[in-house]
Amino acid sequence: MPGRLQDKVCVITGAASGIGAETARLFGEEGAKVVGVDLSPDSIGDLAIEADVTDEEQVKAMYQRVTDELGRVDVLFNNAGINPPDDQSVLDTELEWFERVQRVNLTSVFLCCKHGIPHLLANDPPGGSVINTASFVAVMGAAVSQVSYTASKGAVLAMSRELGVEFARRGVRVNALCPGPVDTPLLQELFASDPGKAARRLVHLPLGRFAEAREIAQGALFLASDDSSYVTASTFLVDGGLSGAYLTPETGE
């Protein structure tokens, strides 16, 4: 039985690790021709491209190479991003670091949309899916702040909504994928070094655990596939109920 992305050409940024790598694997299993993009040479995919997605010329060249070698582009998963090294409130964040996070998390998404969407519009018939990685922090606040990260993800969400409306009648769907906390090496280190800090986060999750990267990838798969043909300009939360919670269940209830 053909996969849900059979023969679709999917360009995934940040594909060397984490959500990007897991999504590249899943898309491949679903029949896609996967283009993995990263600063690292270790991207997962049928075609691996080393590129700095904050550099406009490299982004333009990246999509042109994909079209030249694979014939078309069907899905953009603009996932590359960075986290601040520590919790940083607005009082502690240096301007240089704030601007760096905006460039990697926001400007890169802008550039990938600016230069990727024309390739979707060039398809016959025109169309495709754009998935921009935002975050649950784009829709709710936290006393333990990462203000530069939060600001960047809020902007990604707003931009995705705008583009989803703008291109809806031209066959291009644009959605913001908003993961909750994901079980990454960074979170595992937090558990080991400061169980209290980790527990402070975990208590707010109705499901009682952090997400696996594969679970976020499944959300991206839905948005990339024709299963979501009537979904655009959406805030697609895959957060274990975090953003909808007031009180969470006691263990075993």
> In this structure, what CATH number is given to the domain that contains residue 96?
3.40.50.720
Is 50 a member of any domain? Answer: yes
**Torsion-angle region of residue 7: left (phi > 0), alpha (psi -120 to 50) or beta?**
left
Is 203 a member of any domain? Answer: no
The active-site residue, picked from 63, 149, 230, 246, is 149
DSSP state letter for 165: H
Is 146 a member of any domain? Answer: yes
Distance in angstroms (rounded) separating the CA atoms of residues 167 and 233: 10
Is 244 a member of any domain? Answer: no
pTM above 0.75, yes or no: yes
pLDDT tens-digit readout, 200-250: 888 889 998 899 999 999 999 999 999 999 999 999 999 999 999 988 887
Whether 246 is catalytic: no
Q: Are 55 and 114 spatial neighbours (Cβ–Cβ below 8 Å)?
A: no
* Number of domains within the chain: 1
- Is the predicted pLDDT of residue 49 greater than 70, yes or no? yes
Question: In terms of DSSP bridges, do strands 235-238 and 172-179 run parallel, antiparallel, or are they unpaired?
Answer: parallel
Is 201 a member of any domain? Answer: no
Is 3 a member of any domain? Answer: no
pLDDT tens-digit readout, 12-43: 999 999 999 999 999 999 999 999 999 999 99
Is 196 a member of any domain? Answer: no
pLDDT of residue 120: 98
Distance in angstroms (rounded) separating the CA atoms of residues 1 and 57: 39
Span 41-62, average pLDDT: 97
Is 141 a member of any domain? Answer: yes
- Domain with 107, as residue range(s), is 9-182+212-239
Instruction: pLDDT band for 186, please (50, 70, 90 cuts).
Output: low
CB-based contacts of 14: which residues, under 8 Å, 6+ apart? 20, 37, 38, 79, 80, 81, 133
pLDDT of residue 188: 72
